[in-house]
Amino acid sequence: MNYTTKKGVIKMIISIINQKGGVGKTTTAVSLASRFAKMECKTLLVDLDPQANATISFGINSPYEPFKRVKFSDYLDLMPSSKKLSFLDIPDNHVKNLLKEANDEFILIDCPPVLNNLSVNAITAADFLIIPILSGDHFSLVGLKDIFGTVESINKSCGYKILLTNVNERLSITKHFINMLIQAVGEEKIFKSIIRIDSKLKEAPFASVAIDAYDVNSKGSIDYGDLALEIINIKKELIRG
């Protein structure tokens, strides 16, 4: 971890990554950023996806220069994305160097659904990775090997956990899928928190707000609240370790 900054803040840089689209990367980045800010943790959300879905989720539609920091609320800043990111040739450590002077408790990086130089930047900068995968999706399991290989070659010291999303506990395949995942990576590499299937998570972006602002009592809001607390405990363990 990058530990203490000049202002005495212990920060944690978390990249949310998976080369597969539609697994909940942006929803996770936006939901956690909003939740950490609500908990009065100074938070920065970096949108590294040229599609700019995380940016749009907060109602920001005006074009910004890439990597320009924008204040969103008292505890939340954004680095909005734009299509320009697709055409930039940036070195692998650009984002890491950019964030060295940041004085935030949590920095969340939303990645594109492809392992390109933007994803490499996110992995290089990260202290920890969240890898969302769709519950019951066989191809999500298959793709994990590519992610692990990429992380091993770029940032061996980076920790990670897998986040199960779109979980339907009523389906028989769910328990079987979770058992397969445990056998593949080990239970310690899977978040205890799960993100249950919830239509409110799909509705929130239409209102340009995160799930905890859209419906604080929804399953999605409760689940991401649990995940935020689990990450805070992981951060404490990393600091002690």
Q: How crowded is the C-beta side of 29, counted as CA atoms within 13 Å?
A: 35
Predicted pLDDT at 7: 59
- Closest by alpha carbon to 32, among 18, 44, 20, 17? 44
Predicted pLDDT at 86: 85
Predicted pLDDT at 25: 96
**Degrees to nearest 5, angle at CA 60 with 127 and 103:** 35
Q: How distant is the alpha carbon of residue 73 from its chain centre? A: 19
Q: How many CB atoms lie within 10 A of CB 84?
A: 12
Predicted pLDDT at 140: 81
Kindly give the confidence (pLDDT) of every residue in the chain, 241 residues in length, as a single tens digit, with 9 standing for 90 and above. Answer: 655 555 567 899 999 999 888 999 999 999 999 999 999 999 999 999 999 999 999 998 877 788 999 999 999 999 999 888 888 889 999 999 999 989 999 999 999 988 889 999 999 999 999 999 999 888 888 778 888 888 889 998 899 999 999 999 899 899 999 999 999 899 999 999 999 999 999 999 999 999 999 999 999 999 999 999 999 999 998 887 6
Global pTM value:
0.94
CATH homologous superfamily of domain 3-132+199-240? P-loop containing nucleotide triphosphate hydrolases (3.40.50.300)
- Closest by alpha carbon to 15, among 220, 160, 182? 160
Predicted pLDDT at 16: 97
Contact 122, 25 (CB under 8 A): no
CA dist 236 to 3, 28, 128, 194, Å? Answer: 11, 21, 13, 20
Predicted pLDDT at 222: 98
